[in-house]
Structure 1
Amino acid sequence: MKSIRIDRNRRLRDDPGTGHNRWHPDIEPLIEVAPGEEVLLETRDAADGQVKPHMTFADLAKNDKKVGHPLTGPVFVKGAEPGDILEVEFVDMTPQPYGWTVIRPGVGFLREVFDAEFLAHWHVDGKFARSPQIPGVRIPEGIFMGTAGVAPSHEQMRSWNARETELVSRGGLALLPDPQDAIPASQPIASEGLRTMPPRENGGNADIKQLTRGSKLQLPVSVSGALFSTGDAHYAQGDSECCITAIEMGATAVVRFNLLKGEAVRRKTRFPRFSHPGYFAAPEWAAPHNFVATTGFPIREDGTQECEDLTLAARNAVLEMIALLGERGFSREQAYVICSLAVDLRISNVVDLPNVCVSALLPEAIFER
């Protein structure tokens, strides 16, 4: 089996021949594989190994800020051409024994509510992760690769940078190209490369927790060889990742590629698709049967009624869940992390106007008592 292996004692900047942290079509592939061939990819965590088990939140201030997410690759897939679909099967994934979750002021879904500084260290014991910062909770393994994608074309890179720049000019949030901490550091890749924070048409940081073992991710190909890369493994995450981090960790992924020739053109595929044939037979973390749920509607705290605002409904559902967890003895910071790791947001209805409904589902199986 072909592989890309990394030195887990070294950061990407000190081992640059193993990956990259920007999307750019000119990044040279590290290995070449044929469709149907399995490849093993060792990956780093989202912060490039800077978070250690002994750290406090104050220690994070010393970390480089623009290193995320270090990706392993690219992998050149023989025969892949623009207009094809690259189907990536996640054959297996193995977590590292340590992970972390952090709440930072000014970021996350509830950034206007939480001005918190909180760091949880997670240690994997068998099939569960436990943290001394959130006692009484055990998070079942639901490992997946948070970031997986193919290289954009030059035209796509220019177009996507332009639309994100325009968004920022209107007051929106986006991380624009920045050479600081970029790998490769060579120009023009460092100054032109797309940041890996948002997912885009090429895949990327979608943080889809259902992309577990056995899942298949379909990505429209835009450059010769597709140039696939992956990283940012999560031991577990709820649908929404509301505090902006899951259980972040390094991992080893085994993937297999299949080419659907010309299918992106024939289907007019714009965004990635994915499937998991065995998903609904998966453990309770994937489709919980024993759960408690809160709901949210688009009504502001001052009583103002909004219409069809799913973001506001989701916000209210999460706040209600944080309150419920508070009733069980958890601090607001602990509850926020639990929501990010284990609570799934579901759109319950979008038609009963004005009050569309979002539900937040908490699996009872995560509690040890």
Structure 2
Amino acid sequence: MAGTTHYVKIDKTKTLAEEPLTGHNRWHEDIPPILTVDPGDTVVLDVRDAWDSQFDKDTTNDDVGRATTDLVHPHTGPVYVRDAEPGDLLEVRIGPTRCDRWGYTVQVPGFGFLRETYQAPHITKWDIADNWATSEQIPGVRIPGAPFMGSIGVAPSTSLRETYLRREAELLARGGAVKGPEPRGAVPADPAIADEALRTIPPREIAGNIDVKQLTAGTTMLIPVATEGALFSVADAHFAQGDGEVCGTAIEVAATFTAELRLRKGEARRRGVQGLQFFRDALATGHGTTEPAWSTPTRFYATTGLPIRADGTNESEDTSLAAANALHQMIAYLVDEWGYDEQQAYTICSVAVDLKISEMVDVPNFVVTAVLPLDIFI
């Protein structure tokens, strides 16, 4: 028997701070739910863009340089699922994600995989029609849509949140790239939550900002429940993304997300599931970037990277360095062969190029491949 369908409408012309009862931009177990559903119910959730209206059609590159990560990501939720409790798996059967007709890709200084190389702010503005994205700023390219939510997750328990804060503080002390609790821009603004809440940028065992482009309609997610009611939320809608989202953003949009929420009682505990798992057991159709013709394109150009530094130093089993080298080679190809400048090329890589680990066994040199589908060029 089909469950009930629940709708959460938001005013997308307003920021989350202007409608604070519609969501949150931090993770904390005490954020009150905005909706309660039964297992088997469907939710249809309006979602703001990832940077919470900091960018629009009039935004300049200089404006991007003034953006703050304190406002990302405005989640819609939490949704309380009756009978959900720690040890369960929340089954999220993803339905359509309907995107607005305009989006953007930004390069924010200090953010992105190649942030030490590309430090200038930059924005690409996309028009979306008939499931394709085009931009006057990157002529000759048409990106196929495969909409999904970059951030989908559940709330941590108190003990998990404290564990995450402790391990991230230890990582920060070792020089890691970590953003700790920050009350500025936090929603909810209540200091009891904002002062100790988790930032939404890193994904964790509760999922969150995983940016997995295969989470399109027809995919089912299995998320370990950490607290009573699961407290499910979504944010960060993407019209399209390459595997890696390397410049820090995809084609970012506001959207409406649909999913059916079910429970697998006790399955996380029984199976020892400690993080997100997902599957799709039916062939999807269409022309999106997660469809077979695009995920393994017939026409493509690929570059490879090894863990070798520019000065010739050979590192051992360094996948990040190999990925960076593959990406630098792809950017050079796009500049030399197609005539784009480096920031245009970096954007193309973020929205269309898939980084793939080709081998992790031939020590010391792992191989990462960057694959560009040539059918994006028109």
Q: TM-score, structure 1 length as denominator?
A: 0.97
The question of 1:45 aligning with 2:49 is answered yes
The question of 1:247 aligning with 2:251 is answered yes
Alignment of 1:326-337 (within 5 A): 326-327=335-336, 328-337=338-347
The question of 1:157 aligning with 2:167 is answered no
Shift of 1:107: 2.0
Do the aligned residues in 1 keep the contact of 2:50 with 2:74 (CA within 8 Å)? yes
Alignment of 1:181-220 (within 5 A): 181-220=185-224
Distance 1:147 1:254 in 2: 14
The question of 1:36 aligning with 2:40 is answered yes
Do the aligned residues in 1 keep the contact of 2:142 with 2:376 (CA within 8 Å)? yes
Distance 2:237 2:296 in 1: 20
Question: What is the percent sequence identity of the aligned residues?
Answer: 49
Shift of 1:63: 4.4
Do the aligned residues in 1 keep the contact of 2:218 with 2:284 (CA within 8 Å)? no
- Aligned residue pair count: 368
Distance 1:184 1:279 in 2: 40
Shift of 1:116: 2.3
Do the aligned residues in 2 keep the contact of 1:280 with 1:286 (CA within 8 Å)? no
Over aligned residue pairs, what C-alpha RMSD do you find?
1.3
CA separation of 1:278/1:342 partners in 2, compared to 1, >3 Å: closer, same or farther? farther
Residue of structure 2 aligned with 1:93, choices 97, 102, 111: 97
Alignment of 1:298-337 (within 5 A): 298-327=307-336, 328-337=338-347
Shift of 1:280: 6.9
Do the aligned residues in 2 keep the contact of 1:47 with 1:67 (CA within 8 Å)? yes
Please give the secondary structure, in 2, of the residue aligned with 1:156.
helix
Alignment of 1:95-134 (within 5 A): 95-134=99-138
Shift of 1:284: 2.9
CA separation of 1:351/1:280 partners in 2, compared to 1, >3 Å: closer, same or farther? farther
Structure 2: runs of 5 or more not aligned: 286-290
Structure 1: runs of 5 or more not aligned: none
Shift of 1:125: 1.6
Do the aligned residues in 2 keep the contact of 1:24 with 1:152 (CA within 8 Å)? yes
One-letter amino acid of the counterpart of residue 314, structure 1: A
Shift of 1:103: 1.2
One-letter amino acid of the counterpart of residue 44, structure 2: L
Q: TM-score, structure 2 length as denominator?
A: 0.95
One-letter amino acid of the counterpart of residue 325, structure 1: L
The question of 1:84 aligning with 2:93 is answered no
Distance 2:11 2:243 in 1: 31
One-letter amino acid of the counterpart of residue 202, structure 2: P
Distance 2:137 2:304 in 1: 27
Shift of 1:217: 1.1
One-letter amino acid of the counterpart of residue 373, structure 2: P
Shift of 1:59: 2.2
Residue of structure 1 aligned with 2:373, choices 346, 363, 367: 363
Do the aligned residues in 1 keep the contact of 2:317 with 2:360 (CA within 8 Å)? yes
Residue of structure 1 aligned with 2:351, choices 337, 341, 351: 341
Other-structure match for 2:288 = none
Distance 1:224 1:268 in 2: 18
Do the aligned residues in 2 keep the contact of 1:210 with 1:279 (CA within 8 Å)? no
Shift of 1:111: 1.4
One-letter amino acid of the counterpart of residue 169, structure 1: A
Shift of 1:64: 4.7
CA separation of 1:336/1:279 partners in 2, compared to 1, >3 Å: closer, same or farther? farther
